[in-house]
Amino acid sequence: MQKISAIRGMNDMLPSQSAAWLHLERALSDLTRAYGYEAIRTPIVESTALFQRGIGEVTDIVEKEMYSFEDRLNGEQLTLRPEGTAAIVRAVIEHNLIYEGPKRLWYTGPMFRHERPQRGRYRQFHQFGIEALGFAGPDIDAEIILMGQRLWDELGLKGVRLEINSLGQADERAAHRSALVSYFTQYQSQLDEDSRRRLQSNPLRILDSKNPAMQSLIEGAPKLLEFLGKESLQHFETLQSLLKANNIPFKINPRLVRGLDYYNLSVFEWITDALGAQGTIAGGGRYDPLIERMGGKPAPACGWAMGMERVIELMGISESLPETEPVCDVYVLHQGGETLTQALIAAESLRSAGVDVILHCPPDGQSSSFKSQMKKADASGAQLALIIGPDELARQEGQLKDLRGTGEQRAIPLAGLLSAVIDALVDR
């Protein structure tokens, strides 16, 4: 029978990779707690209209990359979420979460984009994101950037640089848009197919093109910073001063526009040269228009998201991956029969006290020699081995062996098992 494999671009996370994921998840938990952000979870499947309205219909994600399908029960168009912000805003509006004041939120989970799999880009990928809703000032922009920098420092990432820009407000972008259309129309023959299509619908997205043949043309295009008014400039300058005051290095990139339509004012990305073409590990910015666009009362908002697979890969390149942790504290050996019964009782009593235990369970269901069991105990990474054989059971004892230190083995009464194990673990 032909075996069934995982879908291309949708990867299994194997036990050998779990230490890195757990390390990253713990760091994210510590980070969000340190800044007072609360967790929010939304469904993996949402209405297709949510992303068309939230992300923008003239974007690569909506035009090319979404996994969309029709619900067979009612004909509704549904989509596997390609990003997190639109769904968070939908939930905030639906449940009136900012009725009583601003909210600091974080989320994590799988996202889906139908694109060609390559290094750092997958059809199912995992994203972590933070969203600060109801805050209008550049102080919150600075805070969320500081959160990112703190995370990179905690994870020991090397070679990560911050680029920032301002997209201004709608009227400023409209003036810039007219200038872009005039400029690119002069060079229409040099535009690729995507850029020609976007020339009238969304010319700002041309600046985000990765086509090498167009880079010199893009470099000569009018810059949005030249069209910013007083308030937008003040917002951007205050953000810069706050970052400088906290010793956060950054570069202003006037071509940074991000790939989604809902951004305004501050946008930013953290970039590395270590991951090839997929150099952006995280990015975000301010999206004040989105809540109103999604049907809620106007409210400011900003946030950022990161690709967890890319961050873990960069941890490996930066040589900051954690060592594989032992899967248990104690490995319990036995000879079956009544010794198995006592071994299981002992294992459960230790677990009830917070000790991590693996009970030996032979694959074939038959008892195996203590020698072969001891090899498995050593391979488990356990600190201690607890041996309960027929002789030990007759004396109501167990043999406690130090697997990582002296190798000492001593008899202990089963009645005093817990205190003996805890004392041995504390001594390490």
For residue 76, say whether it is annotated as part of any ligand binding site.
Answer: no
For residue 85, say whether it is annotated as part of any ligand binding site.
Answer: yes
| Kind of pairing between the strands at 77-80 and 330-334 | unpaired
For residue 150, say whether it is annotated as part of any ligand binding site.
Answer: no
For residue 262, say whether it is annotated as part of any ligand binding site.
Answer: yes
For residue 255, say whether it is annotated as part of any ligand binding site.
Answer: no
For residue 123, say whether it is annotated as part of any ligand binding site.
Answer: no
Residue 228 makes CB contacts below 8 A (sequence gap 6+) with 166, 168, 172, 236
Secondary structure of the chain in HEC code, one letter for each residue: CCCCCCCCCCCCCCHHHHHHHHHHHHHHHHHHHHHCCEECCCCCEEEHHHHHHHHCCCCHHHHHHCEEEECCCCCCEEEECCCCHHHHHHHHHHCCCCCCCCEEEEEEEEEECCCCCECCECCEEEEEEEEEECCCCHHHHHHHHHHHHHHHHHHCCCCCEEEEEECCCHHHHHHHHHHHHHHHHHCHHHCCHHHHHHHHHCHHHHHHCCCHHHHHHHHCCCCHHHHCCHHHHHHHHHHHHHHHHCCCCCEECCCCCCCCCCCEEEEEEEECCCCCCCCEEEEEEECCCHHHHCCCCCCCEEEEEEEHHHHHHHHHHCCCCCCCCCCCCEEEEECCHHHHHHHHHHHHHHHHCCCCEEECCCCCCCCCCHHHHHHHHHHCCCCEEEEECHHHHHCCEEEEEECCCCCCEEEEEHHHHHHHHHHHHHCC
For residue 83, say whether it is annotated as part of any ligand binding site.
Answer: yes
CA–CA separation, 222 vs 219, rounded Å? 8
Plot region of 309 (φ>0 → left; ψ -120 to 50 → alpha; else → beta):
alpha
CA–CA separation, 80 vs 383, rounded Å? 44
Task: Give the number of other Cβ atoms within 10 Å of residue 358's Cβ.
Answer: 18
For residue 295, say whether it is annotated as part of any ligand binding site.
Answer: no
For residue 258, say whether it is annotated as part of any ligand binding site.
Answer: yes
Give the residue ranges of the annotated binding site for L-histidine: 83-85, 113, 127, 131, 258, 262-263
Binding residues: 83-85, 113, 127, 131, 258, 262-263
